[in-house]
């Protein structure tokens, strides 16, 4: 299970969901979105069927908003970007008949998540021991995962552009931040299930194994 959602990427890059998306990762698109308080409705949408869930990002009339939950097929609980995922919802400006786009970068997040687990020598949930279920401090790894995902996203967006594209610069910027964070962060592992860390692993350190 990834350590972050699209919402975490929004905090780093407020214009990301306005400037970039891929059609294959588009979950919903409509022109009938309305906002009242922290509730968004779109009668022509099918949010649950499309897989819209907590942590996704809705672009409404150009404003990027957090999705707290999908209440039903046509209704979302939303908020302006918050300081933390569990903070009180912040009502956006009310709108009626607005454009709506919900795209996701979950494939890129999943790619980086798998890379982090590999660097830690940890298996996915349900795999061999130790697995990511043994990690006691997953939120401590969220910054690392977000930086890595942003590098992958901007790298993919710049792939067909000239070398002097600003997107290449953004990709390189996040790659450097990702590599730096790898040297600083660590995972606490509870290997025997007693709720206490038995091991510390750092994704930036190579582990040598005697043959």
Could you report the per-residue pLDDT of 29-75, keeping only the tens digit for each? 999 999 999 999 999 999 999 999 999 999 999 999 999 999 999 99
Residues in the chain: 211
Whole-angstrom Cα Rg for the chain: 19
Position 210 pLDDT exceeds 80: no
Position 99 pLDDT exceeds 90: yes
Residue 139's pLDDT is 94
Q: Write the CB contacts of 151 (distance below 8 Å, at least 6 apart in sequence).
A: 171, 174, 175, 177, 178
Rounded to an integer, what distance in angstroms lies between the CA atom of residue 44 and that of residue 120?
44
What's the whole-number average pLDDT of the chain?
94
The pTM assigned to this predicted structure is 0.92
Residue 32's pLDDT is 98
Count the Cβ atoms, other than its own, within 10 Å of residue 128: 8
DSSP letters, 83-135, are SSTTSPP-----EEEEEEEEE--HHHHHHHHHHHHHHHT-BPTTSSSSBGGGB
Cα 164 to Cα 116, 171, 172, distances in angstroms: 29, 12, 12
At how many degrees (to 10) do helices 166-184 and 142-158 cross? 160
Domain spans, the chain: 6-103, 106-201
Could you report the per-residue pLDDT of 139-163, keeping only the tens digit for each? 999 999 999 999 999 999 999 889 8
Position 211 pLDDT exceeds 50: no
């Amino acid at each position: 299970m990834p350590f972050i959602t699209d919402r975490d990427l929004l905090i780093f890059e407020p214009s990301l969901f306005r400037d970039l998306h891929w059609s294959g990762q588009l979950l919903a698109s409509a022109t009938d979105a309305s906002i009242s308080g922290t509730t968004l409705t779109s009668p022509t949408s099918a949010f649950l069927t499309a897989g819209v869930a907590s942590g996704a990002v809705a672009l409404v009339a150009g404003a990027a908003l957090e999705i707290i939950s999908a209440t039903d097929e046509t209704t979302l609980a939303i908020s302006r970007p918050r300081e933390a995922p569990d903070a009180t919802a912040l009502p956006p400006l009310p709108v009626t008949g607005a454009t709506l786009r919900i795209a996701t970068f979950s494939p890129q997040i999943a790619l980086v998540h798998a890379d982090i687990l590999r660097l830690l020598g940890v298996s996915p949930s349900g795999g061999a021991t130790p697995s990511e279920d043994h990690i006691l401090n997953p939120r401590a790894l969220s910054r690392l995962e977000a930086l890595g995902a942003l590098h992958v996203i901007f790298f993919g967006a710049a792939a067909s552009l000239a070398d002097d594209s600003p997107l290449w610069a953004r990709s390189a910027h996040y790659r450097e931040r990702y590599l730096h964070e790898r040297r600083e962060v660590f995972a606490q592992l509870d290997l025997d299930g007693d709720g206490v860390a038995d091991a510390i692993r750092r994704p930036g350190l190579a582990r040598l194994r005697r043959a």
